[in-house]
Each structure stands twice: as C-alpha cells, then as structure tokens.
Copies of this chain bind each other. A is one copy, B any other.
Amino acid sequence: MNKIFLNTAKQLLPTLHKTKIKLDLAADLTPGKPLIADFGNHYTGYFSLSLSFRGSPADAPALIRLKFCEHISEIDEDTSNYQGWVSKSWIQEEIVHVDYLPQVLRLERRYAFRYVVIESLAASGKYQVIADSCEVVASTSAGKEVTPVGNSELEKRIDAIALRTLSECMQSEFEDGPKRDRRLWLGDLRLQALTNYSTFQNNDLVKRCLYLFAGTANGEGTVSACVFTKPKVVADDTYMFDYSLFFVSVLHDYYFHTKDRKTLEELLPTAEQQIKLAAKRFKDDVIEDSDVLGWCFLDWNLALNKQCGAQAVYIYALRQLIALRQELGLKSESYEAELKAKIEAGVNYFYDEAAGVFVSGASKQISYASNVWMVLAKVFDKKKNREILLRLKELGAVEIVTPYMYHHYVLALIESGLVEEARQTMDGYWGAMANDGADTFYELFNPSNPNESPYGGKAVLSYCHAWSCTPSFLLREYFKE
C-alpha cells in the first residue's frame, strides 16, 4: 500500500450530487397483488416508502417485499429459482417487517433501479396497508448536464442512454455497475474515462481511480483488476493480464486529455512496472497460451482462446508507455526494440497467411477478439487491417459477447477506415438494446440470444454497466457529421 498515493485518492473523493424523486402511489397493498412503482428512468440511490393504514389499528407487523429492478424484464422474474455461480446476494430484493404504522420505511442500502415491486406478504384482517408514496434520493458524481448528440433519432436515443449509463456508474469512484459489482474495475475504468473526457469531464474522478490502483499495487508492483473502497481501500486478489496493462492505457488517455504532468511523473513507474511484469510472460517474444497465462479477460466468452489477444494488448499498451515516456523526455530504445520484436513474433506466430486472419492457441481459433486487438495494436497497416476485419464474417469467427468487446470492434473498424460499417455496427448493437427498452446499457447483450448469461442465470445481471457507455464517446469523436 502506498499511503501517499491513497491519500491523494482520498483528497479527490468527489461530491455526490443528490436528486430527490417522489412518486405518489396512494395504493392499497394486498398480498398476492404487487404494486409496481415506475420512476421513469434509471436511478442509483436510497429508497424510502411512506406507509399508512386504513381500518383498525395495525395489530400485527406489516411484512413488505421490495424488489428493485433496473430492467422491466426483472419485474416478473422468479428470483427464487436462481442457481448461478455469481452470488444470489446481488439480487436486489428485501423482505422487511414494519412494526408500526404510519411509518416512512427508509432502506439503508443503496439500490440501482427504475422499477420497484412493492408487495404486502402478510396481512392482518383488521387493517389495510396503504402505500402513500415512495421516493429515491439519487446520487451521481457526473455533475453536469450533457445534451445528447447523434445523426438520427435512434442515435440521439443511444447517446442519451449511454450518457445515463455513465453518469449512473459515476459515484465515489467509477463503478462497473451500480447494481453489481458496485466497484472499480480497471477494464471498465478505461472505457468510462474515455467517454468521460468527451462528456462529463470529471477528470479528477479518473485521477482518483488511477491513484487507487497505483496505491494498492501488490508487493511485486502489479495493479489489481479491481479495488474495493468499502469498508476500507483494499485491492482485490484478482489479477488479469490485460487489465493490469490497461493501467498504462488509462494513464495514457488521462495525460493526453489533461496534460497533468505531475500525475504522469508520479504514476509512470507504476505503469512501467505493468509492462515489465507482463514482459516476463513471453518466450521467444510469444506470450504464454491462455491456460498458462491465467485470466486475460478480453470478453465474457468462456470458449475464447486469449493467447493472441494477450499478445496484442501487450503491444497496444507498450506503444502507450513509449508515448508517455516521450512526453517526459525519456528515451525508450530498449522498449522500442521490444515493441518491434513482439510485433514480429506476433505476426509470425499468430497470423495465418492462408486464412488471412490471426489465429489463437493450439487449436488455431479464429475469433473477433484476437483480430480486433491485433488491429488496435496496429501490427499491420490500415489496408491490411481492413481486409482482416472484413474476412471475419466469412470465416465464422468466434463471436463477440459483451458491449465491451463490441466497442473495440467498432473502434477497430473506424481505425481501419470502415467508418460507415462501424457506425452501422454501433447503431445495430446498441440500437437493439434501446429498442429492448433499455434506460441504461447492459453488461451483456446478445441480440440473437437475449437470455444469455455468463453467470448461469439472469437474475444477477447488471443492466447498467459502465463498459457499455462508449457510444457517447464514439458519437462525439468519430461520428460527427
């Protein structure tokens, strides 16, 4: 733990802007007849329910079930059946005894929701429970109104939803999702920060998160994939090959948007250490295969081989480190030699001349993820990259699962000059969520299999997930007419 870094992070704790939204209900609560309170948009905050009664004095406690739903499909979902491997404790459902009426029931936990299912589970025949009104005190550290942009009504809707997604995930830190996991992940942070520069511009929040990661690097200097801040600041013991390297990327993007030289000077050693540690995982300049390397995220696809993508992410991050060193007037001869070696080995080992695409692992798997990352790593020129991207469909490449990977695909298309295809991809994918009734963009969305979940059940899915917010970045940086 680097106390100086963590103290800097603490100084940057943001102000949470609070908004109170009240819904009048004036409804009887009767067992078996749940009431749906619809707040009209996604909110993250604290909920209270004003209860009263009619009839005789309340001669037994009221037993109230409250279920908080981000997405309309959660309302009727039977959560009691959920048996997935992600803890069911993430399901936003409470059963509360109310001893005395009238009472304003204030829940202590923070929830993320648009809809609240309110049900009386047990009644005394002598009185009728009445829900008078309910209220959320919503919070965000986004701190600014941003007007949606776009070249069509659909794009403006996509942008509005993406902005909402990002602002809902901006709390005391950038969170991956205000429902789940409610915390700072490095991979999500990278895309949030990028989108933030184009929109809310709360750059101090990015800085705070950089210092949280740097301040909790482990003994050998690896930054964790995830940092907890409650009840105290501590790094998770989850380390991911790509996420650690993205510390370099987040610092790179932060510096080039802010020119904050002091932060660069303080955090460059941490960034450099990620490259140095990752460099140890190569043999003859080729990265270890997936099963040896440990977790390299890339996408939520368990069938995906990560070897080629890992090589590409390393090249991508190494370029950014060299660019940062240059800003400080530092020479990078050995890093440049290494970059050249990793690119050459990457092409020799992973590029399949016959197929015209990159392949990964012993089984020579062809996937979008491997090729998209090789395009973003710029190992070939724009023309060849374009050919690669266009080949993928024909070859039945392993598909993209998450909006996170979709973002990288869209960016790869843009950087290869396929801007119109990129735009159609964005409109098609995020537009399908918008048309699915999204108020915020989901953690996971497969248009051809809307019930897909990597967790063994949909009940724990996050329907407001930071890594899905990038249309607001893409629209402003690449799709302006």
Contact = CB atoms under 8 A, between A and B. Distances in A.
A27 interface: no
B85 A60 contact: no
A447 interface: no
Please tell me how many copies of the chain the complex holds: 2
A59 interface: yes
A94 interface: yes
A250 B1 CA distance: 69
Interface in A76-101: 85-90, 94-95, 97, 99-101
B87 A234 contact: no
6 contacts: A59-B236, A63-B88, A87-B124, A101-B231, A102-B231, A103-B231
A90 B61 contact: yes
**Shortest 10 CB-CB contacts between residues of A and residues of B:** A60-B87, A63-B89, A89-B122, A61-B89, A100-B231, A88-B122, A87-B124, A87-B122, A56-B237, A100-B230
A14 to B, nearest CB: 20
A23 B103 CA distance: 33
Given A57-B228, A236-B59, A237-B57, A89 B97 contact: yes
A386 to B, nearest CB: 41
A265 interface: no
Nearest to A181: B59
Contacts of A94: 95, 97
A235 B99 CA distance: 17
Contact of A87 (B56, B101, B123): B123
A109 B63 CA distance: 13
Contacts of A85: 125
Interface in A230-279: 230-231, 234-238
A56 B236 contact: yes
A89 B63 CA distance: 5
Given A61-B87, A61-B90, A97 B125 contact: no
A226 B56 CA distance: 12
Contacts of A231: 100-103
A99 B63 contact: no
Contact of A95 (B95, B99, B101, B124): B95
Interface residues of A, number: 37
A62 interface: yes
Interface in A203-247: 226, 228, 230-231, 234-238
Contact of A234 (B57, B226, B230, B236): B57
B109 A89 contact: no
Nearest to A86: B60
Contacts of A86: 60
A299 to B, nearest CB: 21
Interface string A20-34: 000000000000000
Contacts of A238: 56
A188 to B, nearest CB: 15
> Quick one: which of A85, A97, A236 has the most chain B CB within 10 A?
A97
Contacts of A102: 231
A57 B122 contact: no
Contacts of A62: 89
A97 B122 contact: no
Nearest to A64: B89
Nearest to A120: B89
Given A59-B236, A101-B231, 18 more contacts: A56-B236, A57-B228, A57-B234, A57-B235, A59-B226, A59-B228, A60-B87, A60-B89, A60-B90, A60-B181, A61-B89, A62-B89, A63-B89, A89-B121, A89-B122, A94-B95, A94-B97, A103-B231
Contacts of A57: 228, 234-237
Interface string A288-313: 00000000000000000000000000
A234 B126 CA distance: 15
Nearest to A96: B94
Interface string A330-356: 000000000000000000000000000
Contacts of A230: 99-100
Tell me which of A61, A101, A121 has the highest count of chain B C-beta atoms within 10 A of its own C-beta.
A61
A97 to B, nearest CB: 6
A100 B230 CA distance: 7
